[in-house]
Amino acid sequence: MTKSFDKTEWGLLLALPVLICLTFLLPAWVVNYIQVSLGTGLVALGVMIQMRAGLVSFGQGLYFCIGGYTAGLAGKFLGISDLFVLLVMGLLASVVIAFLLGFLLRRYREIFFAMLSLAVSMILFGLLSSTEELGSTDGFNLPQPTYLGWAPEGDLGETVLYVVTCVVTLGLALGLNRVLRSPLGYINEAIRENELRVEYLGTSAHRAVHITYVIAAAVSAAGGVLWAMALGHVDPEMTNWTTSGQFVFVSILAGTGNIAAPLIGTFLLEIVRVYAVEISPNTWQMILGTLMLLTIIFLPRGLWSLIASAKRKTAAPKASEIMEGN
Amino acid sequence: MASGKQAARSSAIRKSRHILMTATTLGLASVLAAAAPAQAEEGSVKIGFVTFLSGGAAGPFGVPARNAAELMIEAINAGSVPAPYASTGLAGKSIDPIFVDENSKQKNADYQKLVEKDEVDMVLGYISSSSCKAIAPEAEKAQKLTILFDCGTPQIFEEIVTDPQYTFRTGAHATMDNVAAARYLADTGAKTGSYAGINQNYAFGQDSWRDFSASMAQIDSNAKIAAEQFPKIYAGQYGSEISALLTSKPDVVHSSFWGGDMEAFVIQGSARGIFERAKVVLTTGETAMHRLGAQMPDGTIIGARGPHGDLAPESELNDWFRKAYYDRFGTLPTYPSYKMAQALLGVKAAADKAGSTDQDAVIGALKGLEWEGPSGKVSMALANGHQAIQGTAYGTYEFDKETGKASLVDIVRYDAECVNPPAGMNSIDWINSGFEGAKCD
């Protein structure tokens, strides 16, 4: 089994102990940003795997919100606070909804897919904003998470939640990497290149898009649950288009080259934002916007292309050295 | 030849890689270096201010609040605020502010960063009720003095943090705006046979209408609801809603619209004559008074979410605040500015009373404190001394065409105990009980 692990997967496995050690090395506020970035990073991952198929989802916040609200509602009305149960419920809710919506969305591509996904997410935003029982736009608070009957308090509780977040996020990233390497992953890339040809080769593009859409939804919902548990609060802003836009922003900034890119990209963007706000509290968006523009102009394939090209360049001289017989 | 070229290219590649690596290392190093706690300046109190500096709420709320903060900090540090706040600083220590944008998805992480990295002595801010709901438990967890200055939801101390230790709110919550609006209609003898509401479809709008219609039901049991309109926030166009209001022929129209939406409603509604056919109550109308001037129809009932702005009682402190604000920013302060000034003066009063800026000392002094703000007396009477109550006032708009000045007439003031629920009572239950225990003059 381990033989089939590629470099990325080894990297993800190695990252787990490193991330956990960071809780003891870095100040708590940085760890906090890592934690929330892992939650939102999962949603960016969902956007990214759809981008691989040439689909830009401008409404991924929908599933982010479904995850968060499922956890919140289960806590509020059913009194469930077990993180694992909440995760499963969030996943189930999102998979069911994505499966149904998938029949509609799988028929659209490009701007039509983007707009339709946006429209669906804004329907939920509208519904939640006018539901007074759920606190409307103010949202409501979530309970402290428990783990299979264990309820750690205070600092320990936070550390446990962080560790669980790391494990779940990296586990899902690993699974997604498998998806990208599976026939489905390659079909998606083929769909991006030439959908007609995919159909002629005997595969259903609709089916591939549908499955990808459901997987992306499930991952995003898991991100929503983890993020909401860390924050302790959910509100409809989670499914607003500005939130969804941020996930697309991250995916473009980080690039679709590697499964780790959106996770790292989310954290980097978060840190850049924090310092941008500190340097210039009134015009920090300008700093982020400039960064976005520069990335698009100079690194059209995202930040990950820097790492990818660095790798290629290290490989290149070695090959020539061998050729020369040194 | 070819190999020379290749060598040159590979060296160039190596060079660029080198630069890239150095840049990354430097970047990482700077993050780590910055992560080390910044040294606080000796003899100063660091306060983190969180308000909207971008987004839709920045213009009407966030920026006026930030402006007031800047003005008050300078004045407090210089000791130029009128008595009893004439001493310099907070118990002699000057204020060192950090401003943070509330328009962020990661509000709690931003809060933690303020507490841990910037090592602020206290956090003062939060306009949106959603932010307050998320921050209040975080503040208790972080054990850091946190002063909510504006957000309106009564839930904070009624449901979310029922035993606050570190969280305070120096502004009264939103219930009184609408209770007082209903009382004002009755007190000025307005016809209230039927009433209608146009409120934004989000928490504040829904709560406002709920409180207002419940209060109307108590004050005039014969009054009927003619229409309820809930357009989307920031919609900007209210043609169809205004038509619906006009056809339902209400005697009173209630609106908690704020900022640009409210101004749009005034301009569009006055053109269609709704202000002549019905008495319009604008619970936040004060922010637009001086901007709209003649465009605001006479006779409109105006509130300011407390006795702020033009509804503030006359005092030396208020005169000074209005003048200083106008001189510096070229506009008169609106209620978010008043609420910010009120919060800062509350902190100053507490620190001066305790004679120290030590967190525990300030908390001890702020609990149950009474102080004078530019809009009159504030007392921390609810939630075990952590939630302020304050009187409020409503007035009727009048525009003087000769001088081009807007003013409020027939101002009626309501005591805090008249329009706020007593300690330990839920707002809506209190209204439905017929304002049990309300003390009105």
Type of residue numbered A68: G
Instruction: Choose the closest CB to B35 out of A27, A281, A316.
Output: A27
* Contact indicator for B373, B404 with CB cutoff of 8 Å: no
Query: What CATH number did the domain enclosing A165 receive?
Result: 1.10.3470
| The predicted structure's pLDDT at residue B9 | 58
Mutation test of the interface with chain A: which of B67, B111, B113, B213, choosing the one with the most A Cβ atoms within 10 A?
A: B113
Query: Which residue has tokens 């089939």?
Result: A4
Tell whether the model's pLDDT for residue B184 goes beyond 90: yes
| A232/B138 Cβ within 8 A | yes
With CA atoms as reference, report the closest residue to A285 among B53, B28, B99.
B53
Same domain, B64 and B81: yes
Determine, yes or no, domain membership for B120: yes
Q: How far apart are the C-alpha atoms of B87 and A303, rounded to whole Å?
A: 54
Classify strands B301-303 and B392-400 as parallel, antiparallel or unpaired. antiparallel
**Would you call A138 and B133 a contact, using CB atoms and an 8 Å cutoff?**
yes
Mean pLDDT of B78-96: 88
**Chain A residue closest in CA terms to B210:** A132
pLDDT at A324: 47
Q: Does B106 touch chain A (CB under 8 A)?
A: yes
B window 137-166, beta carbon within 8 A of A = 137-138, 153, 155, 160
How far, in Å, CA of A202 to CA of A212, rounded?
A: 18
Q: What tens digit of pLDDT does each residue of B350-378 get? A: 999 988 888 899 999 999 999 999 988 89
Q: Are residues B408 and B285 in the same domain?
A: yes
pLDDT class of B428 with cuts at 50, 70, 90:
confident
- CATH number of the domain that B207 lies in? 3.40.50.2300
pLDDT score recorded for residue B130: 84
Instruction: Report CA B278 to chain centroid distance, whole Å.
Output: 29
In tens, the pLDDT along A249-285 reads 888 888 887 888 888 889 988 888 888 888 888 888 8
Contact yes or no for A136/A219 (Cβ under 8 A): no
* Residues B183 and B296 grouped into a single domain: yes
Instruction: Please report the pLDDT score of residue B7 as a whole number.
Output: 58
Number of structural domains (chain B) is 2
A:B CB pairs within 8 Å? 116
Do residues B159 and B396 make contact, with C-beta atoms less than 8 angstroms apart? no
Rg from Cα positions in chain A: 20
- The whole model's pTM is what? 0.81
Judge whether A106 lies within some domain: yes
Quick count: other Cβ atoms within 10 Å of Cβ A201? 10
Verify that B259 and B158 share a domain, yes or no.
Answer: no
Q: Tell whether B154 and B217 lie within a shared domain.
A: no
Give the pLDDT confidence score for residue B37 in this predicted structure: 43
Q: Is residue B347 part of a domain?
A: yes
pLDDT digits (tens, 9 = 90+) for A3-18: 577 888 888 888 888 8
% of chain A exceeding 90 in pLDDT: 26
Residue numbers of the domain that contains B423:
175-304+391-432
B113/A271 touch (CB, cutoff 8 Å), yes or no? no
What is the average pLDDT value for chain A, to the nearest integer? 85
Asked if residue A322 is part of any domain, the answer here is no
Looking at the domain assignment, is residue A73 inside a domain?
Answer: yes
Angstrom distance (rounded) from CA B107 to CA B80: 34
Which of B100, B112, B160 faces A29 most closely, judged by CB atoms? B112
Q: Does residue B81 sit at the A interface (CB-CB below 8 Å)?
A: no
Closest in B106, B108, B201 to A130, CB measured? B201
Q: Does residue A79 sit within a domain?
A: yes
Q: Quote the crossing angle between the two packed helices A28-52 and A7-25, to the nearest 10°.
A: 160
Domain span at residue A186 reads 2-264
Average pLDDT rounded to a whole number, residues B90-112? 89
ipTM over 0.95: no
Within-domain flag for B20: no
Residue B123 CA to residue B148 CA, distance in Å, equals 8
Average pLDDT over residues B76-95: 88
Angle, vertex CA B72, rays to CA B71 and CA B74, nearest 5:
70
Q: Are residues B369 and B234 in the same domain?
A: no
Same domain, B151 and B67: yes
Q: What is the reported pLDDT for B173?
A: 79
Whether B160 and B192 share a structural domain: no
CB contact under 8 A, B106 and A270: yes
In a domain? residue A317: no
Q: Nearest CA to CA, how far is A8 from chain B (Å)?
A: 20
Q: Is the Cβ pair A29, B53 closer than 8 Å?
A: no
- A141, B160: Cβ pair inside 8 Å? yes
Are B295 and B399 within one domain? yes
Give me the residues paired with residue A64 across strands: none
Number of domains in chain A: 1
How large is the average pLDDT for residues A290-301? 85
Mutate which of A227, A277, A306, A324 to disrupt the B interface (most B C-beta within 10 Å)? A277
Instruction: Map chain B to HEC letters.
Output: CHHHHHHHHHHHHHHHHHHHHHHHHHHHHHHHHHHCCCCCCCCEEEEEEEECCCCCCHHHHHHHHHHHHHHHHHHHHHCCCCCCCCCCCECCEEEEEEEEECCCCCHHHHHHHHHHCCCCCEEEECCCHHHHHHHHHHHHHHCCCEEECCCCCCHHHHHHCCCCCCEEECCCCCHHHHHHHHHHHHHCCCCCCEEEEECCCCHHHHHHHHHHHHHHHHHCCCCEEEEEECCCCCCCCCHHHHHHHHHCCCCEEEECCCHHHHHHHHHHHHHCCHHHHCEEEECCHHHHHHHHHHHCCCCCEEECCCCCHHHCCCCHHHHHHHHHHHHHHCCCCCHHHHHHHHHHHHHHHHHHHHCCCCHHHHHHHHCCCEEEECCEEEEEEEHHHCEEEECEEEEEEEEECCCCEEEEEEEEEECHHHHCCCCCCCHHHHHHCCCCCCCCC
The pair of structure tokens assigned to A132 is 């007074």
- For tokens 């030396």, what's the residue? B316
When the pLDDT of each residue in chain B is averaged and rounded to a whole number, the result is 85
At residue B18 the predicted structure's pLDDT band, cuts being 50, 70 and 90, is low
Q: Kindly state the average pLDDT of the residues A157-179.
A: 89
Residues B180 and B277 in one domain: yes
Q: What are the tens digits of pLDDT across the range B118-176?
A: 889 999 999 888 888 889 988 998 899 999 998 888 788 888 888 899 999 998 878 88
Q: Shortest Cα distance from B326 to chain A (angstroms)?
A: 21
pLDDT value, residue A60 = 92
Q: Note whether B276 and B349 are same-domain residues.
A: no
What value does the mean pLDDT take over residues A135-145? 82
Determine, for residues A40 and B105 on separate chains, whether the beta-carbon distance falls below 8 Å. Answer: yes
Higher-scoring residue by pLDDT: A10, B25: A10
A277 domain-assigned: no
Tell whether B129 is within 8 A of chain A (Cβ).
yes
CB-based contact B138 A129, cutoff 8 Å: no
Kindly state whether residue B220 falls inside one of the protein's structural domains: yes
Is A93's pLDDT higher than 90?
A: yes
CA A200 – CA A188 distance, rounded (Å): 15
Confidence of residue A70 (pLDDT cuts 50, 70, 90): very high
Edge-to-edge strand list for the sheet holding B44-51: B94-101, B44-51, B122-125, B146-148, B167-169, B387-390, B376-382, B370-373
Structure-token pair, residue B271: 């053109």
Residue B291 lies in a domain: yes
Q: Based on the fold, state whether residues B62 and B145 are members of the same structural domain.
A: yes
B238 found inside a domain: yes
How far is it, in rounded angstroms, from Cα A278 to Cα A264? 21
* In contact, B286 and B335? CB cutoff 8 Å: yes
Give percent of chain A with pLDDT exceeding 70: 95
